[in-house]
Amino acid sequence: MKIQEADAKSLLLAGGLPVPSWKVARTPAEVEAAARTFFAAGAERVVIKAQVLVGGRGKAGGVKLAGSAEETREVGTRILGMDIKGITVRKVLVGAAAEIVKEYYLGAIIDRASRRIVLMASAEGGVEIEEVARRNPGAIHRVSADPELGLLAFQARALGLAIGLRDPLLSPFVAIAEGLYEVMKANDADLVEVNPLAIVAETTPDGTPTRRLVCLDAKVTLDDSGLSRHPALEALRDLDEEDPTDAQARRLGINFIHLDGTIGCMVNGAGLAMTTMDLVKHYGGEPANFLDVGGGARRETVRGAMELILGDTKVNAILVNIFGGITRGDEVAAGLIEARAQQLREVPMVVRIVGTNATEAARLLMEARFETATSLDEAAEKAVALSKGASL
Amino acid sequence: MSILVGSDTRLVVQGITGREGEFHTRAAIAYGTKVVAGTRPGKGGQTAIDGTVPIFDTVAEAATQAGANSSVIFIPAAGAPDAILEAVDAGIRTIICITEGIPALDMIPVVEAARRAGARLIGPNCPGVTSPGRAKVGIIPASIHKLGRAGVVSRSGTLTYEAVQAMTDAGIGQSTCVGIGGDPIIGTTFLDVLKLFRDDPETEAIVMIGEIGGSAEEEAAAFAAEHLKGVPMAAFIAGRTAPPGRRMGHAGAIISGGSGTAAEKIAALEAAGVRVADSPTQLPRLLLEAGYRP
């Protein structure tokens, strides 16, 4: 699950990391009021950042500086309501603009290959890390946390030294790296990223210039499998930004991604669901969704999944492809029959059920007069034909 | 011969009294797998599967009293990491974890503990392993298999069934079919299984089923180019048309230096001499084209 920058910053702050203060605003008036508090505290300029879960908001014009309260209101008016990659901006983060001396990248991820938490750092901060990985992979330094002992101080030091940090900023970097690792563990995150981690120039209350490392941005994604043990984090889910069908799919425990085509797909297993989509395209159709009913789906789940598919008015044909292992074919067939009895609109459907309890499923489907297919290719071809108006 | 499971497998089912545990234990026994024990803490001394399988409180008892040497886990996510560690501690050599939904961070120390103990962990979130005609451990349907000499390794569950069914329909039997699981942190990788197949005198051809994300297919391709010359191989990669950014982890893409798309994986495999299918049903034909004679 992705969470907004402001929520990610709250998690970093709770982990003891240095994050400059911010406010979240939902209207231009709130933006101005928030900006005034930062100006009153001595800020020369404030930064206004769109809170959206998609990348590239800076390039899209969703991050702007302003030098006066009036200007922040104008900027707020422009950014709020703006469309960034199909997402409407409903809130912004407001904070004092930092005087940045140098930008770094620091991130913690779960690395599949080494099967460890890996911390990555780069002196090329403030730009997309994927871009750095492509252009100059040697500029990204990595250390792997010990599976049992965790991230060790010498590893964090090595990372800080590798990106060129020295006294007096090395110790703060080590504390930040260790904090990042702890934030990851404490929240079951699979990614915690600070980009940029910046050296900023500040003035202490007595007028002395000083430099310190602060987290100017934060990105955290949470492991969906760990969410059930962090009920407070579930509240960070941004319902504004998700399709209403996402919540419905979550309640049913199925994986659902809405796409633009006309053929609704219901499949068990993510790999087979992707393959089914690939074959629908291969035979000239367009899938309306990716839908994995999961392992061991019961009839209620199948009924709910069918509702989700039919809720998309562009769907004009449905392809059900179930290869039963832990999922039992007869249970799916029973769910399909119940769903059809209740559904509000009639859409041509082709059903393929093989594997566990397929014989019982075949009997149920035959009695209920469902159109069936034996092979995956045959099912995909039939669904494409149905979608193009053919009657089988 | 076969890899991972075979006629010498003596299986303990952890979670034998649950809905899935019981259902798939019956299927395993019907297939001929030697299921010697089940565990259910607090029900030791009772029996499961119509009185045919003794229940023990612990895996250690199943190992010492019933001679279990392999385990399969049908325990919900909250208890599954502990179940794996219990099996490791009991000296079980092959541990197959079917459970899905285990938090990735929980698996990191568990995978390490299994590795240090020299135990082979398959999964989690995997369909299991079948060596046709000898043993079936997990949830792969029995009906799709045929005994033969092609090894199958897959990151997917149901997609594996699709591929194996297509092979069986075409008369190409399997030595062993291994579902390694689709989670970010798994005990056994493509590469590990390819090494086992290379060393298995019975396996003469290999089918690999991958999907988008991560770099396991690329690593397997590099291994195949170097160490599996002359072994007929065919592969399928799911997710050619998947929308970018939704399933493919941003993090995975970075750590592997930008790989993870189907196109990149297919290119790596083809460069290694592996034939890549457009549909899983084409896999048998590609194996034959690669020179395999079943």
Give B169 or B260, the one with higher predicted confidence: B169
CATH topology of domain B11-122: Rossmann fold (3.40.50)
Domain range enclosing A31:
21-97
Name the nearest CA neighbour of A271 among A321, A225, A336.
A321
Q: Residue B246 — pLDDT band, cuts 50, 70, 90? A: low
Nearest to B158 among A137, A269, A290 (CB): A269
Percent of chain A with pLDDT over 70: 99
pLDDT digits (tens, 9 = 90+) for A191-208: 999 999 999 999 888 889
Clarify whether residues A205 and A317 are in a common domain.
no
CA distance A130 to chain B (A): 6
Of B162, B186, B219, nearest to A272 by CB-CB distance is: B162
Q: What's the rounded Cα separation, in Å, for the pair B221 and A359?
A: 39
Q: Do B246 and A257 touch (CB under 8 A)?
A: yes
Examine residue A392 and state whether it is found in any structural domain, yes or no: no
Which tens digit of pLDDT belongs to each residue from A296-351? 788 999 999 999 999 999 999 999 999 988 788 999 999 999 999 988 788 999 99
Which of the residues A229, A326, A330 would you substitute to probe the B interface, choosing the one with the greatest number of B C-beta atoms within 10 Å? Answer: A326
**B251 contact residues in A (CB cutoff 8 A):** 107, 109-111, 190-191
Cα separation, A166 vs A20, in Å, equals: 22
Closest by CA position to B4, among listed B130, B117, B111:
B130
Contact B111 A115 (CB under 8 A): yes
* Residue A376 touches chain B, beta carbons under 8 Å: yes
Confirm whether A156 is domain-assigned. Answer: yes
Q: Hey, are the CB atoms on B77 and A185 less than 8 Å from each other?
A: no
- E-strand stretches of chain B: 11-14, 35-39, 47-48, 53-56, 70-73, 94-97, 120-122, 128-131, 135-138, 147-154, 174-179, 205-211, 233-238, 275-276
Give the number of C-alpha atoms closer than 13 A to the C-alpha of residue A128, restricted to the C-beta side. 15
Nearest to A342 by CA among A298, A392, A291, A300: A300
Nearest to B281 among A109, A130, A375 (CB): A375
Residues 6+ apart with CB under 8 A from A285: A261, A262, A263, A317, A380, A383, A384, A387, A388
Minimal Cβ distance to B255: which of A109, A134, A221: A109
Residue A69 CB-half CA count within 13 A: 13
The residue with greater pLDDT, B206 or A235, is: B206
Distance, in Å, from the CA atom of A129 to the CA atom of A135, rounded to the nearest integer, reads 10
- Asked if the B128-289 domain carries CATH number 3.30.300.20, the reply is no
Please indicate, yes or no, whether residues A128 and A268 belong to a single structural domain of this protein.
Answer: no
| A193: closest CA of chain B, how far (Å) | 10
Residues of B in contact with A115 (CB under 8 A): 107-108, 111-112, 185-186
Is there a domain that residue A284 lies in? yes
Confidence band (pLDDT; 50, 70, 90) for B256? Answer: very low
* Helix, strand or coil, per DSSP, at residue B61: helix
Would you tell me how many other CB atoms lie within 10 Å of the CB of residue A299? 18
Among candidates B143, B158, B255 on the partner chain, residue whose Cβ is nearest the Cβ of A113: B255
Whether A224 is covered by a domain: the verdict is: yes
Subunit contact A270:B111, Cβ cutoff 8 A: no
Q: Is the pLDDT of residue A27 over 60?
A: yes
Residue owning tokens 């493919």: B248
Measured between alpha carbons, how far is B242 from B248 in angstroms, rounded to an integer?
9
Which CATH number does the domain housing residue A104 bear? 3.30.470.20
Write down which residue in A195, A217, A242 finishes a domain: A242
Q: Which residues in chain B touch residue A286, judged by CB atoms under 8 angstroms apart?
A: none
What is the interface pTM, i.e. ipTM, of the complex? 0.90
Same topology between domain B11-122 and domain B128-289: yes
Residue B22 to residue A4: CA distance in whole angstroms: 43
Both A235 and A248 in one domain: the answer is: no
**Nearest CB neighbour to A188, from listed B103, B158, B241:** B103
C-beta atoms surrounding B117 within 10 Å: 17
Assess if residue A325 is contained within a domain.
yes
Cβ neighbours of A30 (radius 10 Å) = 18
Spatial contact of A95 and A46, defined as CB atoms under 8 Å apart? yes
Q: How many residues does chain A have?
A: 392
> Which residues of chain B are within 8 Å of residue A282 when distances are taken between CB atoms?
278-279
- Do A125 and A201 share a domain, yes or no? yes
pLDDT in tens, A244-283: 788 888 888 888 888 889 999 999 988 899 999 999 999 9
Domain final position from A201, A225, A242: A242
Do residues A25 and A31 make contact, with C-beta atoms less than 8 angstroms apart?
yes
Residues A211 and A121 in one domain: yes
Q: Are residues A170 and A214 in the same domain?
A: yes
Mean pLDDT across B175-182: 95
Whether residues A266 and A218 share a domain: the answer is no
Same domain? For A267 and A313 the reply is yes
- Count of C-beta atoms within a 10 Å radius of residue A361: 27
Looking at the structure, do residues A55 and A114 belong to the same domain, yes or no? no
Q: Is B250 a catalytic residue?
A: yes
Tell me what pLDDT residue B276 has: 97
Put simply, whether A359 touches B (Cβ < 8 Å) is no
Q: Report, as residue numbers or ranges, the catalytic residues of A.
A: 105, 193
Q: Quick check: B216 and A112 CB within 8 A?
A: yes
Chosen from A85, A106, A115, A144 to mutate, greatest number of chain B CBs within 10 A: A115
Same domain for A371 and A291, yes or no, is yes
Q: Which residues of B touch A223 (CB under 8 A)?
A: 103-105
Based on the domain organization, do A214 and A262 belong to the same domain?
no
What residues contact residue A342 under an 8 Å CB cut-off, 6+ apart?
A303
Which of A154-163, B105-114, B255-264 shows the lowest mean pLDDT across its residues? B255-264
Q: Look-up: residue for tokens 């913690």?
A: A108
Contact predicate A151/A184, CB 8 Å = no
Same domain, A334 and A224: no
Q: Average of pLDDT values for A124-141? A: 90
Residues with Cβ within 8 Å of residue B201, at least 6 apart in sequence: B1
Burial A147-177 (b: 16+ CB within 10 A, else e): beeebeeebbbebbebbebeeebeebbbbbb
Q: SS3 sequence, chain A?
A: CECCHHHHHHHHHHCCCCCCCEEEECCHHHHHHHHHHHHHCCCCCEEEEECCCCCCCCCCCCEEEECCHHHHHHHHHHHCCCEECCEECCCEEEEECCEEEEEEEEEEEEECCCCEEEEEEECCCCCCHHHHHHHCHHHEEEEECECCCECCHHHHHHHHHHCCCCCCCHHHHHHHHHHHHHHHHHHCEEEEEEEEEEEEEEECCCCCEEEEEEECCCEEEECHHHHHHCHHHHCCCCHHHCCHHHHHHHHHCCEEEECCCCEEEEECCHHHHHHHHHHHHHCCCCECEEEECCCCCCHHHHHHHHHHHHCCCCCCEEEEEEEECCCCHHHHHHHHHHHHHHCCCCCCEEEEEEECCHHHHHHHHHHCCCEECCCHHHHHHHHHHHHCCCCC
C-alpha to C-alpha distance for A204 and A207, rounded to whole angstroms: 5
- pLDDT for res B245: 62
CA distance A353 to A337: 13
State how many domains chain A has: 3
Instruction: State how beta strands A92-96 and A46-50 pair.
Output: antiparallel
Distance between CA atoms of residues A56 and A222, nearest Å: 20
Count residue pairs from A and B with Cβ separation < 8 A.
185
Per-residue pLDDT for B148 more than 90? yes
Residue found under tokens 């103990």: B117
Instruction: Give the H or E element holding residue B43.
Output: none
Residue of A nearest to B111 (CA): A115
Q: Where are the beta strands (DSSP E) in B164-224?
A: 174-179, 205-211
Q: What is the CATH number of the domain that holds A260?
A: 3.40.50.261
d(CA A140, CA A124): 8
Contact with chain B for residue A269, Cβ under 8 A: yes
Question: pLDDT at residue B250 above 60?
Answer: no
- Look at the block and give the residue holding tokens 């669901």: A273
The predicted model scores a pTM of 0.92
Residue spans per domain, chain B: 11-122, 128-289
Domain membership flag for residue A216: yes
Mean pLDDT of chain A: 93
Q: Give the strand pairing for B120-122 and A371-372.
A: unpaired
User: Cα separations (Å) of A32 from A94, B76, B214?
Assistant: 9, 51, 44
Chain B, nearest residue to A352 by Cα: B162
Confidence of residue B248 (pLDDT cuts 50, 70, 90): very low
pLDDT tens figures, A80-116: 999 998 889 999 999 999 999 999 999 999 998 899 9
SS3 per-residue string spanning B223-255? HHHHHCCCCCEEEEEECCCCCCCCCCCHHHHHH
Where does residue A107 rank: exposed (0-12), middle (13-18), buried (19+ CB within 10 A)?
A: buried
- At residue A59, φ and ψ (nearest 5 deg) are -60, -30
Q: How many helices (H) and strands (E) does chain B have?
A: 10, 14
Q: Which among B24, B145, B227, B250 is annotated as catalytic?
A: B250
Nearest to B16, CA basis, from B28, B1, B31, B3: B28
